[in-house]
Amino acid sequence: MMDILLERKSVRKYTNEDIKQCDLEYILRAAMSAPTAKNTRCYSFLVIKDKETHKKIAAAHQFSQMILQAPLAILVVGDQEKAYKNYLPQDCAAATQNILIAATSRGYGSVWCGVYSDEERSKAIEKLFDLPKNIKAFSIVVIGKSADNSHPKNGWDPEKIKYEVWK
């Protein structure tokens, strides 16, 4: 498992290969296994394969142009009426990260395109999908077979670790 975590990287170039349905289901199962504050499970997932919708997302979200080459994207949303206090973003972030890790483990490349907490982007995406008022767009994860051979970044930095006291 640790290897998969270290292998994950943002992939923005894809081959033409589709995502297998069984892999998609695994990825969504992983998403729904993410923890939520007070176990509200306030997240939901909109699977988007339609090319025309991909174009509309790219038009609404400046940093999601890789979607035009990808077979699939998942819009992660949270239900404000179900979420505990202000924990909706944390719950949806945990689900988003699980999607990235599950995709990596099944041999796909993926990238987290942030929607929350950019007000303009949130409005555009929520309008595009005609989301009810209580359903908040959190992220768009773009997924496809990777055409990027670069190595993952090495994030290891001992200076980020402190023991017992902040000094």
Ligand X SMILES: Cc1cc2nc3c(=O)[nH]c(=O)nc-3n(C[C@H](O)[C@H](O)[C@H](O)COP(=O)(O)O)c2cc1C
The residues binding ligand X (CB under 6 A) are 9-10, 12, 63-64, 111-114, 153
Q: Which of 75, 87, 73, 99 is nearest to 42 (CA)?
A: 87
Give the span between the Cα atoms of 13 and 36, in whole angstroms. Answer: 31
Extract the tokens encoding 104. 């990596």
23 CA to centre of own chain: 15
Nearer to ligand X by Cβ, of 1 and 22: the residue is 1
Nearer to ligand X by Cβ, of 35 and 132: the residue is 35
User: Which stretches of the chain are assigned E, i.e. beta strand?
Assistant: 43-48, 72-79, 109-114, 135-144
Nearest residue to ligand X on Cβ basis = 114
DSSP state for residue 71 in the 8-state scheme: S
CB of 99 to ligand X, least distance (A): 12
CB of 123 to ligand X, least distance (A): 16
Nearer to ligand X by Cβ, of 107 and 132: the residue is 107
Nearer to ligand X by Cβ, of 25 and 59: the residue is 59
CB of 167 to ligand X, least distance (A): 28
